[in-house]
Structure 1
């Protein structure tokens, strides 16, 4: 067997003209070799023509990306791997521009060609396209050119992009305000305007806008409530704080955040009645997701024994209605074990009911010492529901419940015979389910 030769050894023997012939041969034979060679060339140090090569690569990357984006626009999207290719190409463009800036005329041409694809708007890649345009812009004139393109669009999103460019890139407050004041619908619109006034150190104006947004804004109001609350808290304007709390409760927005902030504020001011009122009113509002158990105990800690006794049963009923898990935790704290057992003993009859009760297992485990036989039935029934589903994934999950049954019967009730009898009956009943029998081998 002859000695093998490496590619490096072969190339070492070639003269300059032969190496050139080899590169040209590969270029003719294989698509993409030209680009690969130029990428290698551009990465080398101390070589000439790097700027020209980089410029060629830039447009090569764009034409490849453009071809894919255009196809996506025609068909309303495309494969994920091609979208990834687009991302790689535009990333390459941005990297090249960071090292070898191009003339403003070329930047405008590239921006224009990107915008043509953005304007079609059917590719699913518009975020990538606009992000690339943002990366390309290097001067105020570039940003103004982007605005000129966007101004032709009636789309509200594009108008907000113009606004954002005026505000963040051109720092043109007058132009920003002219557009912003025409588009105040959502809470976040008002917050955007309030942020502008904050940046201009016009806090009073920012508060005025934020309060207007709380009255008229749609959707998310969190930032507005937080800002206005902090503003009045720093100035210890308790009446305004109280009004803000009432407003949040009335429209049932950001109740959790506002109530917690208010309680902290009122504690510093030693305003017990306001603390009590805030906690109780917040708990009665059922339009937001509460941590019922934690909030229940917070009320208990903050209120006097006399005040707590007056409302305790009402609060428990609210928790019982809104969150079974939190209600069971409260039952455990109050040693209401029979009530807990009654709730978890309602055997699930369907997978829907099974899924609803998935979080009950830790509660059931708390009752093993007091009601071992009942908890055996609880876990046996859960395993049975899963077995009826008839697939290996469910069987594996069922085995976890059966292990609980085995542990309680053998270690708590010292009734190994009961476990062996039930397991044998289970296998016999499902003797045609080979996958189940296979999973049950863990008990052999």
Structure 2
């Protein structure tokens, strides 16, 4: 094992696998190790169902009503992909899409006064939505048209708005939109987790709403995609990619020590041998002394024998409960998938509720979401600490990912990937450059 690598990666979580794939595509020699015997680390999909019961220390085995254990693939960290989002672009660039099949999530909902409503994201839906009164609908429609036409390079489209100075709060005022419309726009379309964005320059929010609309336009039902057989397929796809480029993968490798000389990483010691490297990527669990706890997330995995009420019996959806609706500082998320995605036995649904913990009784905090899911056949509750790096890697060349947050999409994970990439290479992650590299390697087959 005494070999030299450009990059050693520890842990096969999604962030680590994508970076490993990207570094391999860039021509780096990569060694990827995980102390677990399975792919995915924190973001694994658990199968068979018996393993989920064991993992959550539930007594006994799943009842017969749950069907065959091996029909289940249950994500520990549920997230959907935005159809036009960064992760899908990374998958397309790296060609990992050839290993995966996606289905469109059938609807996106927002919570208001104890009920759920479909998120209106087109002018037609806005006019039909029961979320707003007639006059509010017209104002919201004007707002959506303004966003759709907004172009930073064409002052005529800006109606006097300075994208880098005007706040989002001022834009909502300009269209006289009320609090509830602001809630679902900020949280269900722009996908912010708190209301801090209201006093920041409006350009980021405008771009986020555009991303939502463009993603929605691709497939029509919702802006979200989800892979058949669960999210555990994603890290494995990137592992295959890395292997095509000569990357080496090792599961079940205990990590004895990260070897640092004069403050800089030089290798990793495993089972007595040292593999040398210039840079190291890992999740916080491998370097707790270089990470700090920044919060907690509660996630409750619920097995149901029915679709969620008031969704028109669809077999997949997302529900966002904006924090204002339940007097909180953070939103609550629900994502539901089912047997239609090959992740559950016939006729079964998996709904996962998550939020950022704010009090000493996290299960009470998530109750509004669980109330929407009743009756629940079986619950699996987890409360995870969230970590962020305290060492940015400038001197040590150790690059640490952030723990996964409570959101039900991958945009924040992709921001973390781009941030690590920038710190490792000194340049921004350039989608166009990566697309050209792919052409060089795959030629026309890349199309």
Give the structure-1-normalised TM-score. Answer: 0.19
Higher-Rg structure is 1
Q: Which has the higher helix share?
A: 1
Q: Which has the higher strand share?
A: 2
Higher relative contact order (CA 8 A, sep 6+): 2
